[in-house]
Amino acid sequence: MFSKENISILLIVLLLVLSAQASSIVTELDVISYHLTITPNIDEKHISGTVIIKFQINSKNSDSIILNAGNLEIDRVVGENVTGFKKSNNGLVIQLSGNEKNGNEITIDYHGNPNSGLLFDLDHGEAFTVYSTSRWMICNDSPGDKALFHLNIAIPVDKTCIASGELVSKIHRNGKMHYSYQQNYEAPTYTYGFAIGNFNQAEEKLGKLLLNYYSRDYSSDQLLTIFQETPAMISFFEEKSGVSYGESTYSQILIGDYYQEMSGYSILKDTYGELVLHDSTETNLISHEMAHQWWGNRVTCKSWNHFWLNEAMATFMSAAYNEHRFGKEKYQSDIDSYYEVYEAIKNRGNDKPLVFDSWSNPSSDDRNLVYFKGAYVLHLLRENIGDEMFWEAIRFYTAKHFGNSVETTDFQKAIEESSGTNLDNFFNEWVYKSN
Ligand SMILES: [Zn+2]
C-alpha cells in the first residue's frame, strides 16, 4: 500500500538511483573543450546557441555519453560518431558508434527558456548566470571534469558584457555586439558564466592586473570604496597560496540576489554594497569569492562530496584576510561565529562528517557544515600544527594541486607531507566522523 508520502519517498529514491547512475556514467566522460556561441534574448528570457564539445571517453565499450542539459530543447546533435540522441529529464544521452575513445567532437544546437542558472531581470534589462551552467549550456556538470572554454556571445549594442576568460574581440555586426572570450586553462563548468547589463564601472590596476568593478546602482566612486580592499586581498591570497593569480583581469559585479565565484570574476548580491559602504570591514564575501579563484576554481573538489575543500577554504581564508588586515580579534570573532553555526547544527543532532556520501540533496545544515564547520576545522588544524607549518603546508597543497581536482585524501597527504605530521587522528575526528 502506498500513501502519498510513500509515493514521494519512492520517487525520491528512484531519482537518487537515476542520478547516481547518471553521474557514474558521466564520470567516464572527459571533456577537453567547449566552444560555445550563444545569443541571449533578455525580453524573451530565452537563449539559443551552439556548443562544440571535444571529449574523450575513459571507459571500454561505452557507446553513449550523458551530458547535463537542464530544461533546454535540443535542435540538432551532429558528429562523426553520433548515431542518435535523446533528451530525458535534465540529461542528454548521445549514442555513439564504434570504439573511438579519443578525438571525439560533437556539435549541439539548442534553445530554451532556462528557469534557473541564467536569470533575467526584465525591468533593468539585465541577464546573468549563477548555478547551474547546464541550465543554459549543454555540458558535463561534474566539477572534476575540467575543460577549456571559448565563448562567443551576441548582445544588444548598448549593454556591457562581463564573462569568463580573456576578451579576445568585440565586434559590432548585424545590429549586435559580438564578444569573444577564451579561457586558457581548464576550469570546472560551474565557473563558466557571463553578466549583461547597463553598468557603472570603475577600474584600478595591481601591477599588470586590471581590476574591474560593475554595478547598475552604485556610482563609480562608490564602487572604488566598496572594493577598496581588492588589490590587498589579491596580494594576500597570492602570498598565502604561493601561486600568482595569473589572469589579466579580475572583475566584481554587484547584481541580483546571489554570490558566486566564476572564472576571472565574481558576482555579489546587489545590496551587499550598502553593507560595505556602511562598514568598511564587512568584506568577508568579497574575500570569500576571491579566495575561490585559487581554492575552488583552480584547486577543485573532484566531486561535490568533497565540496568542503572549496567552501571551507574560502570561508577560512576570509577570516585569515581579516586577521591580516584588521587584527587577531577580528579573525577570532569570525572563527567564533563559524563555531556557533556548527554548534547549533550539532545541538540539533545534524552534525555529519565533512566528506559526504552523497551531495544530491543537501539540507541547509549540510551546506552550513561544509562552510562553517569546515572553516572551523581548518582553524583547528592551524592550531594543531602551528602557524608557520600550517601556511607552508597550505602553499605546498595549493602549488601541488593547482589546476587539478582533489579529494580529501589529497589534502590530508599534502598537509602531512609538508608538515611531517601524521594527521590520521585529527582527520578521523574532525573530517571523517561526526560528533
Ligand atoms: Zn564559496
Tell how far the Cα of 21 is from the centroid of ligand 1, in angstroms: 27
* Averaged pLDDT for residues 396-402: 98
Q: 252 and 330 share a domain?
A: no
Q: Are residues 33 and 166 in the same domain?
A: yes
Helices (H), 146-278: 220-226, 230-241, 272-278
Decide if 198 contacts 158 (C-beta within 8 A). yes
Q: Are both 165 and 239 inside the same structural domain?
A: no
418 CA to centre of own chain: 27
Whether residues 316 and 207 share a domain: the answer is: no
The answer to the question of residue 14 being in a domain is no
Give the pLDDT score at 62.
Answer: 75
Q: Rounded to the nearest whole angstrom, what is the distance from the C-alpha of residue 275 to the centroid of ligand 1? A: 19
Distance, in Å, from the CA atom of 154 to the CA atom of 173, rounded to the nearest integer, reads: 9
In a domain, residue 163? The reply is yes
User: Helices in 134-245 by DSSP H: which ranges?
Assistant: 220-226, 230-241
Average pLDDT over residues 369-398: 98
Residue 99 to residue 217: CA distance in whole angstroms:
55
Higher pLDDT, 329 or 96: 329
Instruction: Say if pTM beats, i.e. exceeds, 0.75.
Output: yes
60-98 residue pLDDT tens: 667 899 999 999 999 999 999 899 999 988 999 999 986
Rounded mean pLDDT, 225-233: 98
Which parts of 192-229 fold into alpha helices (H)? 220-226
Q: What is the mean pLDDT of residues 335-341?
A: 98
Residue 206 and residue 248 in contact, taking contact as beta carbons nearer than 8 Å: no
Q: Are residues 94 and 145 in the same domain?
A: yes
CA of residue 292 to ligand 1 center, whole Å: 7
Q: How far is the CA of 38 from the centre of ligand 1 (A)?
A: 27
DSSP 18-49: HHHHHHHHHTTEEEEEEEEEEEEETTTTEEEE
Q: Where does a domain end: 291, 308, 340?
A: 291
- The enclosing domain of 403 has a CATH number of 1.10.390.10
Total domains in the fold of the chain:
3
Peptide bond into 132 cis (omega under 30): yes
| 347-357 average pLDDT score | 98
Q: Which of 236, 261, 291 is the last residue of a domain?
A: 291
Ligand 1 centre distance from Cα of residue 386 (Å): 25
338 alpha carbon – ligand 1 mean position (Å)? 14
Over residues 203-208, mean pLDDT:
97
The pLDDT assigned to 59 comes to: 74
The verdict on 51 and 126 lying in the same domain is: yes
- Counting every residue written for the chain, the total comes to 435
C-alpha 299/C-alpha 310 separation (Å) is 8
| C-beta of residue 191 within 8 angstroms of C-beta of residue 205 | no
Which CATH number do you get for residue 111?
2.60.40.1730
Rounded Cα–Cα distance for residues 226 and 278 (Å): 9
Domain extent at residue 243: 200-291
Going from the Cα of 288 to the center of ligand 1, the distance in angstroms, rounded, reads 6
**Alpha-carbon radius of gyration of the chain:** 22
What distance in Å separates the CA atoms of residue 376 and residue 379, rounded to the nearest whole number? 5
Ligand 1 center to 291 CA (angstroms): 8
Distance 110 CA to ligand 1 centre (A): 30
Same domain for 125 and 54: yes
User: If you measure from the C-alpha of residue 395 to the centroid of ligand 1, how many angstroms do you get, rounded to a whole number?
Assistant: 20
State the chain's mean pLDDT as an integer: 93
Rounded distance from Cα 283 to ligand 1 centre (Å): 14
- Provide the pLDDT for residue 61: 64
Residue 1 within a domain: no
Same domain, 153 and 138: yes
Q: Are 283 and 229 within 8 A, CB to CB?
A: yes
38 and 178 share one domain: yes
Residue that is written with C-alpha cell 557514474 in the block:
24
Separation of CA 310 and ligand 1 centre (Å): 7
Does 282 score more than 70 pLDDT?
yes
330's grid cell: 577580528
**What is the C-alpha to C-alpha distance for residues 68 and 17, in angstroms, rounded to an integer?**
16
* Mean of pLDDT values over 36-52: 98
Name residue, grid cell 602553499.
Answer: 395
Same domain, 256 and 130: no
CA–centroid distance, residue 312 to ligand 1 (Å): 8
**Is residue 435 in a domain?**
no
Position 158 in a domain: yes
Beta carbons within 8 Å of 387's beta carbon, 6+ residues apart: none
| pLDDT reported for residue 14 | 36
Q: Are residues 114 and 190 in the same domain?
A: yes
Dist. CA 304 → ligand 1 center (Å): 13
User: Is position 407 within any domain?
Assistant: yes
Q: How far is the CA of 51 from the centre of ligand 1 (A)?
A: 28
- Domain edge (last residue) among 267, 291, 315: 291
Task: Indicate whether 9 pLDDT > 60.
Answer: no
Alpha carbon of 143 to ligand 1 centroid (Å): 14
Ligand 1 center–CA 295 separation, angstroms: 9
Task: Decide if pLDDT at 373 tops 80.
Answer: yes
Determine, yes or no, domain membership for 86: yes
- For residue 133, report the distance from its CA to the centre of ligand 1, in Å: 16
Does the pLDDT at position 7 exceed 50? no
| pLDDT tens readout for residues 157-173 | 999 999 999 999 999 99
What per-residue confidence (pLDDT) applies to 8? 42
Ligand 1 center–CA 328 separation, angstroms: 23
pLDDT bin (cut points 50, 70, 90) of residue 25 is very low
Ligand 1 centroid to 258 CA: how many Å?
11
Model pLDDT for residues 101-140, shown as the tens digit of each residue: 567 999 999 999 999 999 999 999 999 999 899 999 999 9
User: Cα(315) to centroid of ligand 1, in Å?
Assistant: 7
Mean pLDDT of 258-263: 97
161 shares a domain with 34: yes
pLDDT band at 374 (very low <50, low <70, confident <90, very high): very high
Residue 367 parent element (H or E): helix 364-368
On whether residue 17 sits in a domain, the answer given is: no
CA pseudo-torsion sign 367, 368, 371, 377? negative
**Cα 232 to averaged position of ligand 1 atoms, centre (Å):** 19
